[in-house]
Structure 1
Amino acid sequence: MSYWKEWVAKEEKLLREKDNWRTLPSSQGTAPGHIIRDAHHAVLSFASNDYLGLAHHPAMIEQAEEALRTHGTGSTGSRLLTGNSTILAELERALAAWKGTEAALVFPSGYHVNISVLAAVTTESSHIFSDAANHASIIDGCRLSRAKTFIYRHNDLDHLRQLLDASVGADRRFIVTEGVFSMDGDVSPLPELLHLAEEFEAVVVLDDAHGTGVMGDKGRGTLSAFQLHSDNVWQIGTLSKALAAQGGFVAGPRALIDYLINKARAFIFSTGLNPAAAGAALEAIKIAQDEEWRREHIARQAEFLRQGLKDLGYHVLAPGILRTPIVPVLIGSNTQALKVAQALWHQDIYAPAIKPPTVPPGTSRLRLAISAAHHEDDIERTLAAFRRIKSDLVGFDGTDEGTQHEYL
């Protein structure tokens, strides 16, 4: 046996014992609100981030094809060499106008943005204050930075204030939060958080990957939903969720964008975004602003599902201040979450179990994401499926490490 195979096998065994081994799902593609399991079988999907239902929109496909014909299949190099183009400049102007900022900068992915920005703006004397529920890319960005990182309890502003009060000797302070938290479906209390940031002279880095296109006036995001604007908020987002394209961006003051062009390593050393993704994203920004019905439809269907699951006795995490398209159903153990997900799959509904390390141990869940492509009968069918499997949850006594009880 090769020297490395033994320890790989041991790691796999440990993960399998905790029902935490992952494999790639098998499907032949997607359709609006569905995944295609085989040539004759579509499965209702709540796993997609295609919130506005744009992934198969004819206008987006047309614009992607036009960008391919005009600019080719790839950008051929980093943005500082051959990878810049007129379509990327146009996309950045559209993002800045949409987000209400002076400028924007496009990266190959949202992950690239989060691992770049914090590392680019911090020193060994800087302090980062990060919400405990932040995405893995933010956690990795904190680790790659030279700053000292403090984790505050999820949306706990009293705890954040305590940490800020104790922050001594920092040359720069950054509060990092998501706008819409992807696993809990709630939002950051931005008005109070911005007040704290001003009091302690901190910059807010707002990852609005799950808010962009969905929240606020014309889908401008969570900051807009609270009717807030501040140059001390740097907005991060993706083009791959509600905008159904690919790539990431940061929007903020021109001085910040010019600085990142010179200092953000994942921008400097990555090939520029491909033209087709840029063309599709440009069209998606237009649709997101013009078609308010998509957000209204999402809000109605999400509330219908949320209330229906509550009425059945399931533990649905509360969205908090603002309603979002994410409906998390807390189950508890990995084993039971997998059982529920499998029971739904057998009824042609795809809602995969979300397990550690994505969520804390003992809080495995099903995360149901509503799309504008979902219809009322899809929600009724899903509620009927949950009703049929509920008897399998009642009285379940989980045995996973860290799990003390199951949620209904």
Structure 2
Amino acid sequence: MQQTWEDDIKKELEKLEHLSQNRVLQKTENAQLPWLYLNGQSMLNLASNNYLGLAGDSRLLKAAAEALYMCGTGATASRLIVGNHPLYGEAEASLIDWKGMESGMILNSGYTANIGIISALMDRNGTIFSDKYNHASIVDGIVLSRSKFQRYRHCDLNHLEALLRKYPTDKRKLIITDAVFSMDGDIAPLEGLVFLKERYNAILMVDEAHSSGIFGGQGEGLVCAHQLQNRVDIQMGTFSKGLGSYGAYIVGSKWLISYLMNKMRSFIFTTALPPSVLGSISAAIKIVRTEQYRRKQLMEHSHYFASSLKRLGFLIGPSETQIIPVIIGSNEQTMLFSRKLQEEGIAAIAVRPPTVPEGQARIRFTVMATHKRNDLKQAIEKIAQVGRKLGVIE
């Protein structure tokens, strides 16, 4: 009997199940808080990207509600049709002033921003140089652009330079990196990347998704923290993590933003963000610029959590931020570790290939500024107990 397309797909699902790579949705409530409910069970939230704890902040809720009542529930069309309501102007003015750049624009998500920017700037005549551990949205944007794709070893400037040397200086070249890498929690060598982009006449794009709100004197991100904002061509970031809202941004020169507005398909052909989201974005920017204690608390919690796990013998890789992985290896062992932690009241999710390289499955812990130190202390004790039972640590 001839095999059908349904049989093919079902076999793929069976293969994922066999490899412990099958994914399922779990009912989650109160994910904006340090303690959430996962499938009805109360757990310490060590899996959220709500790093500063702003997703449940009353000021963001109030701003969103006011915008909702003023402008309605939806934008009704793309920004180039009739969806460009006045709240966009307010939020983008706040964004540009916060980042200290000439121009900027707000987009619907980090994913749509990355695929849009890359595919608009590059074509089959150019070459893109991307860190091996860059986010999937960057990889997908590269594929859409049809450019030549050169992947350099993670944070390896020597390898990147060796690749750049092979291409003429008069051909368009784009170097892309995450500022903070989402699965390892380490930081890109931004000064070295700027040096290479200037030496080889390339464009440099930095994805600040996991560093926006976290680094810099006013939470502007790592590019500003290193005073490189006038030497990095494209800064992209999100409001959905440190800023507790939704959406993404691009900042850069005025002519660049104008070009992207005219060429970026994921902007042109997407309905604009709901007004309530724009209201919360403006409120979040004001908060992160002034409330330094959130960043300080986050860094203190992160250092305590990471150093404690490392001292216990866990392999946490090169993490130096609020993203702290415990690298276990096999998919099966990692899934078991995650289940045992949930039984102990800790929400920590297993991350498996293809999100991370084969043989590097892990628990990705993330710390929030709003965690209590005693809760983290108790969580570390439980993580250690599970680690010893499963033979992950001695």
TM-score interval for Structure 1 and Structure 2 normalised by the shorter chain: over 0.9
Matches within 5 A, 1:353-364: 353-364=350-361
Partner of residue 380, structure 1: 377
Q: Which residue of 2 aligns with 1:53?
A: 53
1:300 paired with 2:300, answer yes
The structural deviation recorded for 1:390 is 2.1
Q: CA deviation at 1:38?
A: 6.3
Identity of aligned residues (%): 38
Residues 326-365 of structure 1: matches in 2 within 5 Å? 326-365=323-362
Which residue is 1:203 aligned to?
203
For the 8 Å contact 2:31–2:45, the answer to whether it is kept is: no
Residue 36 of structure 1 aligns with which residue?
Answer: 37
Q: Corresponding residue for 1:218?
A: 218
Greater Cα offset, 77-86 or 1-10? 1-10
Distance 1:147 1:28, change over 3 A: same
2:271 maps to amino acid: T
1:152-191 mapped onto 2 (5 Å cutoff): 152-168=152-168, 171-191=171-191
Gap runs ≥5 in structure 1: 397-406
Would you say the 8 A contact 1:127–1:170 is kept in 2?
A: no
**Structure 2 unmatched runs, 5+:** none
Give the CA deviation at 1:106.
1.0
- Distance in 2, matches of 1:330 and 1:271, equals 39
Q: Is the 8 A contact 1:126 1:170 kept in 2?
A: no
Match of 1:370 among 353, 367, 378: 367
Check the 8 A contact 2:206/2:232 in 1, yes or no: no
> How big is the shift at 1:43?
1.2
Task: Determine the structure 2 residue equivalent to 1:400.
Answer: none
SS of the residue aligned with 2:81? coil
Deviations 1:58-104 (A, max 9, x none): 01000000000111111100110011011011111111111121111
Select which of 322, 330, 333 maps to 1:325: 322
Q: Deviations over 1:357-390 (max 9, x none)?
A: 0000000111111111211012101111112112
Q: How does 1:1-400 map to 2 (within 5 A)?
A: 3-37=4-38, 41-168=41-168, 171-319=171-319, 323-394=320-391
- Is contact 1:125–1:169 with CA below 8 Å preserved after alignment? no
Q: 1 CA distance for matches of 2:220 and 2:122?
A: 28
Q: Distance in 1 between matches of 2:14 and 2:79?
A: 43
Instruction: Check whether the contact 2:169–2:201 (CA below 8 A) recurs between aligned residues.
Output: no
Determine the C-alpha separation between the residues in 2 that align with 1:365 and 1:389: 14
State the distance in 2 between where 1:215 and 1:28 align. 29
Q: Give the Cα separation in 2 of the matches to 1:99 and 1:346.
A: 43
- The letter for the 2-side match of 1:69 is Y
| One-letter amino acid of the counterpart of residue 337, structure 2 | V
Q: Counterparts of 1:202 and 1:146 in 2: how far apart (Å)?
A: 18
Deviates more, 1:241-250 or 1:30-39: 30-39
Give distance in 2, aligned partners of 1:11 and 1:20: 11
Give the whole-Å Cα distance in 2 for the aligned partners of 1:47 and 1:276: 25
| Preserved CA contact (<8 Å) 1:126 1:172 | yes
Q: How many residues are treated as equivalent by the alignment?
A: 393
Q: Displacement of 1:171 after TM fit? A: 2.2
SS in 1 for 2:130: strand
Task: Say whether the 8 Å CA contact 1:117–1:264 is kept in structure 2.
Answer: yes
Distance in 2 between residues matched to 1:157 and 1:136, nearest whole Å: 21
Q: What's the CA shift for 1:170?
A: 5.8
Deviations along 1:190-246, whole A, 9 cap, x unmatched? Answer: 011100110001111111100000111111001122222225420011111111111
Cα distance in 2 between the residues matched to 1:373 and 1:62: 20
Residues 116, 266 of structure 1: 8 Å contact kept: yes
CA distance in 1, matches of 2:161, 2:92: 35
Give the RMSD, CA atoms, in angstroms.
1.6
- C-alpha distance in 2, partners of 1:38/1:141? 35
**Bigger CA drift: 119-128 or 12-21?**
119-128
Look up the equivalent residue of 1:356 and give its one-letter code: P
Q: Is the 8 A contact 1:197 1:203 kept in 2?
A: yes
* In 1: Cα distance, 2:91 partner to 2:3 partner: 49
String of CA shifts for 1:281-303, please: whole Å, max 9, x gaps. 11011110111000000111111
TM-score by length of 2: 0.96
Letter in 2 for 1:172: R
Tell me the secondary structure at the aligned position of residue 330 of structure 1.
Answer: strand
The Cα of 1:31 is off from its aligned counterpart by 4.3
How much has 1:169 moved relative to structure 2? 7.2
- Mean CA deviation greater in 230-239 or 376-385: 230-239
1:399 corresponds in structure 2 to none
In 2, Cα distance between the equivalents of 1:99 and 1:2?
A: 56
Q: Is the 8 A contact 2:223 2:232 kept in 1?
A: no
